[in-house]
Structure 1
Amino acid sequence: MNTTPFRAGHVAVIGRPNVGKSTLTNALVGAHVAIVSPRPQTTRHRLIGIASYSEGQIVMVDTPGLHRDFGSANATAMHKWMNKAARGALDGVDAALLVVRAGQWEEADEYAYQALQRESLPVMLVINQVDRIVDKDQLLPYVAEVTKDREFAAVALISALKRKGLKELTRDILKLLPEQEAIYPEDEITDKSQRFLAAEMVREQVMRQLGEELPYATTVEIESFEVDGTMLRIGAVIWVERNGQKAIVIGKGGERLRDIGTQARLQMERLFGTKVFLQTWVRVREGWSGDERALRAFGYHD
């Protein structure tokens, strides 16, 4: 008979941009609920990923990267939204994970740490991408350096991408959570709708394929989402800010847009477990990322 108490709670995943927060969320959930690309600031929304185990349930609150400049007067409406979403993720959580890259501690990491210090939360330091450190003898001095004069409930060394160290991480997270019943049914993996996830999967492909050319000038709106028997029929609009950007997304003879649609459709079919018919269009709305009204229209709201 298992005498270990069942624990459940919300855990905010915090850190500077592009340290692997969404990859970690997906790894613990066991499904691709949070989009991932090599480009910083891929995550724009607060997203919940639900990881259920026999010992407990961890409700991961994935967030955009915290960045000091995003809260400045010169920041765009999009950047202010992202900072607000990241900070808002700390409301009502039971613990937080501060995710950093192994071997690094930058000013933005310190900014994220100080933001967490203002909350009455247990904070675990999660050092990600340890597989990239060739000389493992460097890890102990690094851990000693980043934990000196900083308070953490625990420290975890992991590779989220390669799923290394996750069992120990899960065990230590559960220790920080209250004893209570599961918050969500065992078969749920996110709080987001299929419609939301479909838009994110299209945007993920735009970021992956065109991130260097159009890093932050695009967003995706689902114009239609219909159930047709066992098939989903989805219409997605990729919004850009200039006509030149539209041409880049479409590509020569429409090749780039077709590739984006194909890869996004395959990802949807894997996650939704059904056939998907996806149509995509590209449209222009000048300056949408700096327009709060446009952001609300595209789903960037509380």
Structure 2
Amino acid sequence: MNASPPTAASFQARDERISWRTTAFYCRTITPAAIPARAPLLVLGGGLQTRHSWARLEQRLAPHHPLLIPDLPPARAPGTDPLNWDDLTDAALHTLDQLGVARAAVLAVSSGYPVGYRLAQRHPGRISHLMLFGASPKPAPRLAALIREGLHRTDQAAPAPPARAYEAERLVALLTNPQAAGRNLLMRAAAKVLRHHLLAAPDDPLTAYIRDRGALLLDQPLPPGGIDGVPALVGVGAHDTTTTVADNRAVAATIRGARFAVLDDCDHLLHMERDAEFATLIAHFLRRNDTAPLPGCTTETLH
């Protein structure tokens, strides 16, 4: 795959308005100039990621592969009924239906993984490939405690105003690996980008994280029953403390024949820290149902 930045004519991007139930959201659709005969890639990002959070992946994949990147509705939007994993899965499936996509590959990262997993489990005929990164059967204890704290705050009638910088730092410290980042420039740079993104949000970072999808992580992110019949790849950064190697392996073990990949020198933000290798893994798997031989990446097949 050509890893160089695309030219302006390499692909076309536009926003499609998706009407779902009583609300609507937007999906960024990206079409290569030379449309290949392959299923588009549905990208389901993690907490507080938007359809504009995947510029690096777009640069590397968009010239060669159609992409669909929806902004799924927040799980706890003020003034609306709370949504659960089934609701978000239905919203993702409705995105495909409204766009006329009969079959798609799915890339689901972090808290996007429970949605991607359910799509493949419940609609295997609609999913050509499943790729999960940063997956865990349940949130790590420190993250679960912070989510419960955030829920308590948002449920209060008049919560005390939080210190935005303090909340951002706590989330960055939980969603990255500060100890490993001390020895890795790319990991420190990715943490800086995350910090800036959290501080730029209109709400305080923890409240925004809880309302987006964080609260749902306490409610069975990994459904029972497993997956069979869908080519799958599960990947994780070797220094991920948010969803550890063991956590991701446990999720991969529920998918028959899943490929499992561990990338060195990165943590939970591996799609930013090793973006070239991340894109290469995805592109290779989409073409060959197998993982690419990459330096600093170990892979195996789980039975």
Question: What's the TM-score, normalizing by structure 2?
Answer: 0.30
Higher CA-based Rg: 1
Question: What's the TM-score, normalizing by structure 1?
Answer: 0.30
